[in-house]
Chains A and B, each alone.
Chain A
C-alpha cells in the first residue's frame, strides 16, 4: 500500500514539474504583498507598492526618480520633461520642456496635448476622461497644482496656488497614459486597466485580476540606457507572507517583497539572497500637541524618546530596521546637526519625568492608536508592546487603542480634536510615514496649516518658528540651499522632540541567486530595468 502511495506522490510530482514550465532566461517572477494587481490606468492604488510595480514600470512622470544607486538617497531627475524652471518674477508658474521623440507603447506620440489631456483627467471633473479613481490616488500628491496650459507642442506651463519650490517633486507622482488607447478602449477606464498603455520601460501584455500581470520589455523606450534587459516580468499578488516565502523556496517565483522576519534565516538556508537598504520610512508616534496633552511638555517627549530600547526592537524584527536618531536617518542629506541625542537612557528618562512633575502616583497617561497590520507598519503589535514595556518601565502609563489598518487610516482623517480621537481618549498615533520628498516628510505632517483634512498634522503641532522654517524650504529654489534649509528643519524638530521616533524599516526583499544586476535604491520605488536572470 505504501508503495502505491509513493507511486501516487511521484505521479503528482511529475504533474507539479509540468506545472512550472521552463522559462526563458529573461523572465522575472515577483510575489507582491498586494492582494490584487494595483490599478494600472495611470495612478496606481495600493500605496507605494502600486507605484513601484504598476507606476514607474508602465509609465513615466515628467520628473522621474534616479534609482541607479544604493549608496545615496534617490532624488528626482528629468523624465518626460527634460527641464523645468519657475517663470522669473512669477514663481507660481512653471515651464516644463517636454522630451521629444517619446512614444507611447501603442506607437502614438507623447507631447503637450498628452500632458494637458492627462491633467484634465485628474483636475477637470467636466472632462470626458475624468477618472475619480485616479484623482483619489493623485490629488494629494499635487496639492498646489491649480492650472495648466499648452505653450507649444513640447512646452507646458503649470501653475501652483502658492510659490512652491518643491513642485517638481509633486510632478514625480503623476503618470501619463495614452489618450488614443483610452479612445480605443471605448473611453472606459476599467477596460484601459486591462489594456494599459504608457511610455514606461515595460509594456503590459496581460492583466488577470487577482492572479497576475505580465509585462514585457518595451524596445522603443526613449531612455536607451534603461531599456530592460529582462524579456518579461510577471507580478503575482500574494498578501500572505508565508505563501510568498514558500513560493520563493519552491521556485515558483524569483523574488518576494517583504519576507516575514522569522523566515529570513530559512530563506538564507535555502540559498536565497536577502537585499536591504535604508529608505525614507519612519515608524514613530505622532503625539497630540493640544492643551491638556502630556506631550505638550518637551521633557515628557524627550523622556519617551530616551525610554525606548531601539536595539531590542531591531532584534525583534530580525535586524530588518535601523534605530531612529530623528525623523530621517543619520547620513540622510536632511539630517543636519541636532543636539538632542536620541538613545536608550532610561535613567535620564526617569529624571526628566520627575522634573516635569510626574512620579509613581502621578504618571503621564498616554494612549496610542495603533493598527494590527498595514502597509509599512512592520510588526505593529509586538513592536508596540515592546515600546509599551519600555515606556511603563520609566514611569509612563501607556495603553493602546487597537484597530484594523483601514480603520486607523480613517481615524487619522480627523485631527486629535475630532470626535474619533476624543471618544477613544487617544493622544498619540502610530502610522508609518514616508519622506521621499520634503512635502511628504515635513510639511504635511508638521506645518501648522496642514492639520487634517488639509494635511496629516494629526496632533495639531503649531509652532510659528517651525512653520517659517518649512515655508523657507518651499521658497528656496536653489537645490543646495533647499537641502540646507531642510537640515535646519530636521535639527529643530529633533531638538524639540516633536515626535517619538523609534525605527526606520530596511525594506527587505528576498530573491533567488538567479536574479542579477539589481541595485536596491534608497527609495520606496525600484528600477527593474538593469535586472537579468542567470
Chain B
C-alpha cells in the first residue's frame, strides 16, 4: 500500500505540470485583456503599455508561463493585479472558508444520501421508493443557485429565521465554531448539498438494490443471518462504487460553489473567482484554479486509497 501511494504521488507530478499548463492556457485564451480590467476604458495608450510592462503581460506567453511556474513552485503564486496582495494569502483565506462550507455540505449530503438511498433500496412500499427518487431527481435537476435564492426568500426574507448572506456577524472577523456563524452556514450548506444529495442517493439506491439481488445475500438469508448484519455486508459491498461517486462530488463541492458563494456573499474560492473574473485578475484566477485542481487530484488519490482499503479485490497498479 505504501509503495502504491508513493507511486501515485509521483504520477501526480506530470499531471500537476499538465494541469498548470492547461490552467494558464485557459485563463489566457479567454476573451478580454487583463489590463482592460484595471485601467479605465479611455486610459492613454502609454499608460496601458506601462502597466502591461509592469505586470509582464508584454512578454510572450511561454515566457509568462515559465515565470509564473517559477514563482508558483516557490510557493509564492505572485501578486494580485487587482488588490496588490499576495495571491497565496488571498487564495489561502478563501480556500479555508470554502472548505468549511464544503465539509458541512458533504456531511449533510452524504449522510442523508446513504440513509435515503438505503431506505429506498430496502423499501417494500413503492411510495417510499418514489419519494426518495423524487428527492434525488430534484437534487440533480433543480439549479442550486435558484434553490439558494428560494431558500433566502423563504427563510431570511419572509420568515426572518436565518441570515441571508456573509460568513458571520458583521462585528466578527473570520470563521468561528459558534451559534451565529453556524446560523450563517445553514442556507448555503443546504443549497450546496442538494446536487451531491441527488447524485449519491441515486447511486446508493441502485447499487444496494443490485447487491440485494445477488446470490450471496440470498445465501446469507438462508443461513439465518439477521437483517442488520446482512445490511452491513451489503453496505461494505456497495462502498467502493459509492465512495468513487462521493469523491467526485466532494471535489465538485470545492470547485463548483462559485454560484452558491456569490448568492450568499460567502468569501470563499468561488466568490474570489467571481471577483477575479470580473477584474480579469489573472494571477488570482490562475492561483485559485491551480489550488482547486491540486485539491481535486489529492482527493481522487485519497478516494482511490480508501477504495483499495475497503475492498481488497481492487488491486491497483
Asked if A139 and B43 make an inter-chain contact with CB atoms under 8 angstroms apart, the answer reads yes
CA distance A125 to B42 in the complex (A): 21
A7: interface (CB < 8 Å): no
Size bracket of the B interface: 35 or more
Asked if A247 and B44 make an inter-chain contact with CB atoms under 8 angstroms apart, the answer reads no
Query: Separation in Å of the A524 CB from the closest CB of chain B?
Result: 13
Asked if B265 and A240 make an inter-chain contact with CB atoms under 8 angstroms apart, the answer reads yes
B247: interface (CB < 8 Å): no
Asked if B41 and A413 make an inter-chain contact with CB atoms under 8 angstroms apart, the answer reads yes
Asked if A189 and B42 make an inter-chain contact with CB atoms under 8 angstroms apart, the answer reads no
A210: interface (CB < 8 Å): yes
Are A136 and B47 also in contact (CB < 8 A) when A16-B163, A413-B33, A456-B42 are? yes
B136: interface (CB < 8 Å): no
Asked if A453 and B82 make an inter-chain contact with CB atoms under 8 angstroms apart, the answer reads no
Contact of B180 among A18, A41, A250 (CB under 8 A): A18
Of chain B, the residue at the smallest CB distance from A139 is: B47
B182: interface (CB < 8 Å): yes
| B270-306 residues at the A interface, CB under 8 angstroms | 271-272, 274-275, 278-280
Chain A residues, CB < 8 A from B165: 236, 238, 243, 246-247, 252
Chain A residues, CB < 8 A from B54: 132
B171: interface (CB < 8 Å): yes
Of chain A, the residue at the smallest CB distance from B268 is: A210
Q: What 0/1 pattern do residues 47 to 82 of B give for CB contact below 8 A with A?
A: 110110011000000000000000000000001011
B120: interface (CB < 8 Å): no
Q: What 0/1 pattern do residues 228 to 270 of A give for CB contact below 8 A with B?
A: 0000001011111011001101111000000000000000001
Query: Separation in Å of the B93 CB from the closest CB of chain A?
Result: 8
Query: Separation in Å of the B19 CB from the closest CB of chain A?
Result: 25
Asked if B83 and A193 make an inter-chain contact with CB atoms under 8 angstroms apart, the answer reads yes
CA distance A413 to B84 in the complex (A): 24
Asked if A16 and B43 make an inter-chain contact with CB atoms under 8 angstroms apart, the answer reads no
Chain A residues, CB < 8 A from B162: 12-13, 15-16
| B19-53 residues at the A interface, CB under 8 angstroms | 31-33, 35-45, 47-48, 50-51
A60: interface (CB < 8 Å): no
A410: interface (CB < 8 Å): yes
B179: interface (CB < 8 Å): yes
A29: interface (CB < 8 Å): yes
Asked if B43 and A133 make an inter-chain contact with CB atoms under 8 angstroms apart, the answer reads no
Contact of A19 among B37, B152, B159, B168 (CB under 8 A): B168
Are A35 and B43 also in contact (CB < 8 A) when A16-B163, A190-B83, A413-B33 are? no
Q: What 0/1 pattern do residues 87 to 101 of A give for CB contact below 8 A with B?
A: 000000000000000
Q: Can you spell out 19 A-B residue pairs with CB atoms less than 8 angstroms apart?
A: A12-B161, A16-B163, A45-B38, A132-B50, A132-B51, A133-B84, A135-B51, A137-B39, A140-B43, A190-B83, A236-B165, A237-B265, A243-B164, A403-B31, A404-B31, A405-B278, A406-B37, A412-B41, A453-B45
Residues on A facing B (Cβ under 8 Å): 9, 12-16, 18-21, 29, 35-36, 39, 41, 45, 47, 125, 132-133, 135-137, 139-141, 143, 189-190, 193, 206, 208-212, 234, 236-240, 242-243, 246-247, 249-252, 270, 403-407, 409-410, 412-413, 431, 444, 452-456
